[in-house]
Chain A
């Protein structure tokens, strides 16, 4: 009992981190996986109060927010938190955070940094080989007993020698390039700016990149500029022998157009971890053997989650000790996503 009293006393001195909605780590590992002796959580989702009222009540206690994809940090929320100094997100993507508002208010942002880059790149390679070599489709075929009854499975396509075009040569894009080079692929890319020290061919726009590759890989951030970046023109340039892989964000691709192209056979296939309106997925895709899908879990490995938990806690602890953040995001030149059209 005495110990409990003691911890209660010291608890009330601890700074607060606001959580609007539980992050994926809680669902997977329980509510205490991000605990630290140096701060405590204020869980808005556990309160019976409506959010604005909750925020109003606790406005002056909150210096930091833990965000995740399903718990966006909007200008409205930021407005209600005058002491907010830090947003830590469990994701690498930042499209759910009002970066302009953070920049204006001098609020620091920390993300997953490079924690997920290897896993995302591994997903890209997995999805790409799966689409070309029909791995998931052939596995289905065998497990339905069709190999012995129906015989030989149709041929796939060779990965070696294919031209790979990467949209967004950031940390994930770079890891993708490194891996696919080992398979004998040639690499080209499009990025906001050309990268001088990189040995890959740069194309100034995505249409040209698509026209000159066999596999288009989406690895860029979702911003106002990249919303529906992959449109009819790009898919047409990619052509009927082209494959598209998306592990970035669903809204980067005009999904209606993509589905139409796949159904009509205007592109060879697609590997998709993300969709415009998750968890809704266009049912037309379920009929197609040349499409491989995953439920936005490209980063959901046990190892990455363990690394992420340490990073999240480390960022908050650094902030509250006035030390440099472990994975700060440089807001100065970062483009913003204002939500796109629906």
Chain B
């Protein structure tokens, strides 16, 4: 398979890169100075694209690669792939579901604890030497708080299971109600926001869910409400969120994703009720290896004409 051209959209994982290089004819797109010239030159040999949450395969890229057969994403989110175009051209698409579910759910709970219990602030306080002055730091209890989940898919369910162990009552909003879930369903996000203490975004990013967290939702959450985002940056109207936090109209936020990563609104840096992470939802040694193996497995299956492991299209 060494002659098969594979285009890796951006750096994502050294092990994956190494293995792709070993097994295929790997092209590292980020190292290419003249991208359109490159695509023209290699349009007949590139048969696969490997993307992730930052870069995938949009309509332009797909059009430029007439021999493209498969897009394998090193992520579960598919918002960087033009799925309609892939369907139209018979291009297969795979992602990495399940293997990262637990890590993302763990992170969501970690962000809830970090914001409510001021974990990062407490750590900073001790490191600064201020403890000797004996000031007490009161925080907010997490156990028993009402958790509202937007999107009750694999990740949403995993978050619910964990929060239940802290006796948190669970409610959710989803495109469709899930009667087997036994949690309280709200038909719209504003109502969900008004009836929970912590609102967590765990749905996929589509045209419908873009800016699903907007001014109305933030207002409904209120000055004690806490927003957790482990979905995608564009789920949140970021300028609205920033002004709500700066003005104290929202109680706090734990964010792993942003609209224009790696740019993060600097107004948030000084807020001790806000925890900011550099998109590490699936960022563990164990899970990234499992994700890489899934990408490699899907590519191998495709080129050996076997059933794909985790097809989306």
Contacts and interface: CB of A to CB of B under 8 A. Distances in A.
B141 interface: yes
B119 A158 contact: no
A93 B263 CA distance: 46
B136 A300 contact: yes
Interface in B25-55: none
B141 A156 contact: no
Contact of A286 (B11, B110, B111, B127): B127
A139 B285 contact: no
B207 interface: no
Interface stretch (B172-180, B236-244, B272-280): B272-280
B208 interface: no
Given A139-B120, A157-B286, A286-B127, 9 more contacts: A27-B136, A126-B117, A135-B110, A142-B264, A153-B278, A158-B286, A179-B162, A182-B164, A301-B139
A183 B139 contact: no
A138 to B, nearest CB: 5
Instruction: Using C-beta atoms within 8 Å of the partner chain, give the interface range for chain B.
Output: 35 or more
A28 B261 CA distance: 40
18 contacts: A122-B143, A125-B109, A129-B113, A130-B110, A130-B123, A138-B280, A142-B277, A147-B262, A158-B102, A182-B162, A292-B119, A293-B126, A293-B127, A295-B131, A297-B137, A300-B138, A303-B141, A305-B138
A118 B141 CA distance: 9
A179 B166 contact: yes
Nearest to A180: B165
B288 interface: yes
A152 B283 CA distance: 10
Contact of B132 (A133, A152, A280): A280
Given A141-B278, A147-B278, A148-B263, A133 B139 contact: no
B141 A119 contact: yes
B266 interface: yes
A240 to B, nearest CB: 14
Contacts of A341: none
Nearest to B113: A126
A295 B132 CA distance: 10
B140 to A, nearest CB: 6
Contacts of B264: 142, 147-148
A135 B119 contact: yes
Contacts of A300: 136-139
Nearest to B160: A182
Interface in A100-145: 118-119, 121-123, 125-127, 129-130, 132-136, 138-143, 145
List 8 tightest A-B contacts by C-beta distance, closest first: A182-B165, A126-B113, A294-B122, A118-B143, A303-B141, A301-B141, A160-B102, A129-B110
Contact of B106 (A121, A133, A147, A301): A133
A132 B217 CA distance: 33
Contacts of B6: none
A281 interface: yes
